[in-house]
């Protein structure tokens, strides 16, 4: 065991350190009683956490981000459902190029998307605001949702829908009673992924935000004031904890869904 | 057939997929209470025809009547048909009882107890009483099949459509389900239309069979007629095993005389020419079980020839021999029951063969 595996084991440990060391530092300094982010630690405190609600601009940016992320998640998942369903069930002229074009924002540099959207919005003389950020985020999140939902819809046996229709249901009730419950794990995944992407997206938000910055944009602005950094660390700790909880919930939901549908578990986040 | 009006009636039905001509002028009447099979190789259009009756495919031209009503523009959910799918299409997120009750959702005239009683009856009918609370995905293949049947039959459709329902089951279970399906059909009295590529299955279960090739019905008959009087070489070859021998035919006043390669001269009646009496060069078909090997100086009951055992296949209850006859390129196949005390011949042995001219079928060359 120790012979050939030794090198790879060392590599694996280094790799994990590289991935997670910065994130582990986050809670350490969030509870450190000093404005200077450096070792040695000077003492335990929770004052950075209590300072969060006392920073109104920070609270507002969190609210803005949550609203943008939830709206983006719902919109891009809805668009993703339509596209994935169409791709899985219907054939139409130019299907391949159309599906390709829908997926393109996946590889498009965000800076290009951000600048070009800004140009268009300016040309149309439209005011910037949270809704323009939602627009931009929906654009980049939809391909992720389609990718996730494509496999969910693709794995669904067509004859299940035909059977429900044959047994007297309408097209819509078939979708509601059969299709939707069976692709629900995919929908939850899509919602979560797009929520997460939108929540931490910086470039598009930076370009398209109006007077109400999202959290990443606000944080970027705060980096000029070193005394605010511990609060940022505290907030980061809360966000990491929240993501772990959310992902765990999503994974439990996904496994339950698969078990209920009698399928074989072949993927997932965790 | 002529006394009761047909339940399913197709007139000159065509179906195109783009330029592909999937159904080429189907004319078909299926009677009430009939067990009807659509039999053919894959790609012959049998499933398309079934899906056309179900309402999943539109007709390109022609008419489809169900109980005398034109089905043009009537979608699958408003047709008096129900379907059992090849994959069974059991809803995996519902219990067995919820699956079976699915079609009753829209029946507002029934209360909860009445629906539960119907589900109970339906499960009882397919031998799954007490399975209602089970999760659908925990069922075996045969049980899924029964749930699919119960789910379709609970709606008392005029026609039950079955798309290769037994192809996913292993041999033993398939044979058992063939009997059960047949019994179930007699019990409920509903018209069954079965799609299958398995000729044996079609012969066992059906009242009548339509053999399809390339989007057309090649022959429509009851199992015995289909087996004994196939109207074309293609049908004869598809249903069971048939040997084909080159021959030349001279028509007479009542019977014809044929000179058959490897067998010799024989007389045949017009009945033995289901597609009409050919003249001159023709092909004679003969089934393996109508020929037999004569052992130890046993006298021939009818006609006799001889040949060498080219190859044999021992099946336990039967042995299939390929016998090389003089003047015939391809060895003919014949089957013998392995009766008590009967010897199995070895390769290269010479065999005396008995055959009967009444078993011959003549086809055009």
Which residues from A are below 8 Å from B when comparing CB atoms?
157, 159-160, 162-170, 178, 181-182, 260-263
Report the predicted TM-score, pTM, of the whole model to 2 decimal places. Answer: 0.82
Q: Confirm or reject contact between B103 and chain A (CB < 8 A).
A: yes
Averaged pLDDT score across all residues of chain B: 92
The pLDDT-based confidence of A265 (bands split at 50, 70, 90) is low
* Residue A137: closest CA among A84, A217, A201: A201
Spell out the residues 6+ positions from residue B330 whose beta carbon is closer than 8 angstroms to its own. none
The pLDDT-based confidence of B195 (bands split at 50, 70, 90) is very high
Taking residues B189-205, report their average pLDDT.
Answer: 94
Reported as a single tens digit per residue, the pLDDT across B168-187 is 888 888 898 899 999 999 99
Whether residue A34 has pLDDT greater than 50? yes
pLDDT of residue A4: 62
pLDDT of residue A258: 65
Q: Do B85 and A159 make contact, defined as CB atoms within 8 angstroms?
A: yes
Q: Which of A18-32, A67-81, A248-262 has the highest mean pLDDT?
A: A67-81
pLDDT of residue A54: 84
The pLDDT-based confidence of A260 (bands split at 50, 70, 90) is low
pLDDT of residue B117: 93
Count how many pairs of residues, chain A against chain B, have C-beta atoms within 8 Å.
Answer: 65
Calpha distance B32→B190 (Å, rounded): 7
Calpha distance A106→A104 (Å, rounded): 5
pLDDT of residue A240: 84
pLDDT of residue A1: 47
The pLDDT-based confidence of A3 (bands split at 50, 70, 90) is low
| Domain A25-32+42-259, second-level architecture | Orthogonal Bundle (1.10)
Residue listed under structure tokens 């019990």: B187
Interface of B with A in 160-199 (CB under 8 A): none
Question: Which strand (E) or helix (H) includes residue A80?
Answer: helix A56-89
B137 vs A162, A164, A261: nearest CB: A261
Round to the nearest angstrom and report the end-to-end CA distance of chain A.
26
Is the Cβ–Cβ distance between B39 and B59 less than 8 Å?
Answer: no
* Residue B328: closest CA among B359, B356, B347, B305: B305
Whether residue A261 has pLDDT greater than 90? no
Residue B135 gets which letter from DSSP? B
pLDDT of residue B149: 93
Q: Do B93 and A260 make contact, defined as CB atoms within 8 angstroms?
A: yes
* Residue A261: closest CA among A130, A151, A155: A155
pLDDT of residue A39: 77
Whether residue B138 has pLDDT greater than 70? yes
Spell out the residues 6+ positions from residue A251 whose beta carbon is closer than 8 angstroms to its own. A268, A269, A270
Looking at beta carbons, which residues of chain A come within 8 Å of B76? 162, 165-166
Tell me how far the alpha carbon of residue B293 is from its chain's centroid.
30
pLDDT of residue A91: 82
Residue A179's SS3 state is helix
Interface of B with A in 282-341 (CB under 8 A): none
Residue B270 gets which letter from DSSP? G
Q: Which of A55-69, A144-158, B224-238, B243-257 has the highest mean pLDDT?
A: B224-238
Decide which of B357 and A6 is more confident: B357
Which region among B45-59, B168-182, B330-344 has the lowest average model confidence (pLDDT)?
B168-182
Looking at beta carbons, which residues of chain B come within 8 Å of A165? 75-77
Taking residues B99-126, report their average pLDDT.
Answer: 91
Whether residue B329 has pLDDT greater than 60? yes
Residue listed under structure tokens 């033993």: B172
Closest CA–CA distance from residue B102 to any residue of chain A (Å):
7
Q: Confirm or reject contact between B112 and chain A (CB < 8 A).
A: no
Taking residues A126-145, report their average pLDDT.
Answer: 91
Calpha distance B56→B161 (Å, rounded): 12
Calpha distance B138→B143 (Å, rounded): 10
Decide which of A38 and B217 is more confident: B217
Whether residue B350 has pLDDT greater than 90? yes
Calpha distance A145→B148 (Å, rounded): 34
Closest CA–CA distance from residue A169 to any residue of chain B (Å):
6
A167 vs B56, B87, B102: nearest CB: B102
- Across chain B, the runs of DSSP E, i.e. the strands, are 8-17, 20-30, 35-39, 61-66, 69-70, 81-84, 159-163, 191-196, 208-213, 216-221, 243-251, 256-260, 264-268, 280-286, 292-294, 303-314, 318-325, 332-337, 350-355, 361-364
Q: Do A181 and B93 make contact, defined as CB atoms within 8 angstroms?
A: yes
pLDDT of residue A155: 83
Closest residue in B to A184 (Cα) is: B93
Residues comprising chain A, all counted: 270
A262 vs B81, B85, B137: nearest CB: B137
Share of chain B above pLDDT 70, in %: 99
pLDDT of residue A269: 45
Spell out the residues 6+ positions from residue B93 whose beta carbon is closer than 8 angstroms to its own. A181, A182, A260, A261, B136
Looking at beta carbons, which residues of chain B come within 8 Å of A168? 77-78, 103, 105-106, 155
Whether residue A262 has pLDDT greater than 70? no
Taking residues A122-131, report their average pLDDT.
Answer: 88
pLDDT of residue B1: 46
Decide which of A224 and A251 is more confident: A224
Share of chain A above pLDDT 70, in %: 92
Interface predicted TM-score (ipTM): 0.86
Looking at beta carbons, which residues of chain B come within 8 Å of A167? 77, 82, 102-103, 151-152, 155
Reported as a single tens digit per residue, the pLDDT across A45-64 is 888 888 888 888 888 998 99
Q: Do B83 and A260 make contact, defined as CB atoms within 8 angstroms?
A: no
* Residue A122 neighbours by CB distance under 10 Å: 10
CA distances from A24 to A27, A33, A40, A242, B192 (A): 6, 17, 16, 15, 67
pLDDT of residue B192: 96
The pLDDT-based confidence of A270 (bands split at 50, 70, 90) is very low
Whether residue B268 has pLDDT greater than 50? yes
Looking at beta carbons, which residues of chain A come within 8 Å of B91? 160, 163-164, 178
Judge residue B325's burial from the number of C-beta atoms within 10 Å of its C-beta, 0-12 exposed, 13-18 middle, 19 or more buried: buried
* Residue B197: closest CA among B88, B37, B25, B87: B37
């Amino acid at each position: 065991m120790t012979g050939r595996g030794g090198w790879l084991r060392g590599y694996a440990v280094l790799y994990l350190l590289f991935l997670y060391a910065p994130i582990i530092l986050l809670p350490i300094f969030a509870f450190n009683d000093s404005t200077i982010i450096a070792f040695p630690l000077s003492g335990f405190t929770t004052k950075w956490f209590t300072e969060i609600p006392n920073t109104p601009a920070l609270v507002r940016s969190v609210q803005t981000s949550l609203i943008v992320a939830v709206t983006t998640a719902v919109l891009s998942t809805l668009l993703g459902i339509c596209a994935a369903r169409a791709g899985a069930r219907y054939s139409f002229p130019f299907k391949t190029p159309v599906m390709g074009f829908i997926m393109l924002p996946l590889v498009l540099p965000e800076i290009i998307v951000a600048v070009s959207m800004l140009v268009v919005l300016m040309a149309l003389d439209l005011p910037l605001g949270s809704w323009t950020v939602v627009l931009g985020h929906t654009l980049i999140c939809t391909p992720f949702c389609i990718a996730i939902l494509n496999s969910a819809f693709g794995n669904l046996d067509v004859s299940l829908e035909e059977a429900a229709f044959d047994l007297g249901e309408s097209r819509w009730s078939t979708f509601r009673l059969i299709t939707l419950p069976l692709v629900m794990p995919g929908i939850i995944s899509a919602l979560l992924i797009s929520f997460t992407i939108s929540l931490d997206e910086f470039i598009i938000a930076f370009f398209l935000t109006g007077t109400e910055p999202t959290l990443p944009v606000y944080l970027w602005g705060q980096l000029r004031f070193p005394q605010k950094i511990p609060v940022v660390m505290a907030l980061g700790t809360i966000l990491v904890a929240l993501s772990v909880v959310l992902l765990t919930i999503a994974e439990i939901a996904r496994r339950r869904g698969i078990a209920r549908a009698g399928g074989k578990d072949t993927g997932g986040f965790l | 057939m002529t006394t009761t009006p047909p339940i399913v009636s197709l007139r000159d039905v065509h179906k195109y997929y783009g330029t592909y001509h999937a159904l080429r002028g189907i004319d078909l009447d299926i009677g009430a209470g009939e067990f009807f099979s659509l039999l053919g190789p894959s790609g012959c259009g049998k499933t398309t025809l079934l899906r056309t009756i179900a309402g999943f495919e539109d007709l390109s031209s022609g008419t489809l009547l169900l109980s005398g009503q034109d089905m043009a523009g009537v979608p699958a959910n408003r047709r008096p048909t129900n379907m059992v799918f090849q994959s069974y299409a059991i809803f995996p997120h519902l219990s067995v009882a919820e699956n079976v009750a699915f079609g009753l959702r829209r029946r507002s005239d029934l209360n909860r107890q009445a629906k539960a009683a119907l589900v109970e009856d339906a499960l009882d009918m397919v031998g799954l009483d007490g399975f209602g609370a089970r999760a659908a995905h925990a069922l075996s293949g045969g049980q899924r099949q029964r749930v699919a049947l119960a789910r379709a039959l609970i709606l008392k459709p005029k026609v039950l459509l079955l798309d290769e329902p037994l192809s996913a089951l292993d041999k033993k279970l398939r044979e058992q389900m063939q009997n059960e399906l047949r019994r179930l059909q007699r019990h409920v009295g509903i018209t069954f239309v079965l799609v299958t590529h398995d000729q044996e299955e079609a012969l066992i279960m059906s009242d009548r069979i339509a053999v399809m090739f390339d989007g057309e019905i090649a022959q429509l008959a009851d199992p015995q007629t289909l087996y004994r009087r196939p109207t074309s070489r293609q049908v004869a070859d598809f249903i069971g095993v048939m040997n084909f021998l080159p021959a030349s035919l001279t028509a007479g006043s009542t019977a014809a005389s044929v000179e058959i390669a490897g067998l010799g001269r024989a007389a045949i009646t017009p009945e033995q020419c289901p597609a009409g009496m050919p003249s001159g060069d023709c092909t004679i078909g003969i089934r393996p079980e109508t020929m037999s090997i004569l052992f130890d100086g046993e006298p021939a009951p009818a006609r006799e020839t001889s040949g060498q055992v080219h190859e044999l296949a021992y099946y336990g209850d039967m042995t299939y021999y390929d016998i090389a006859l003089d003047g015939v390129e391809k060895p003919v196949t014949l089957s013998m029951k392995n009766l008590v005390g009967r010897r199995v011949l070895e390769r290269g042995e010479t065999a005396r063969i008995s055959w009967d001219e009444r078993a011959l079928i003549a086809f055009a060359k």
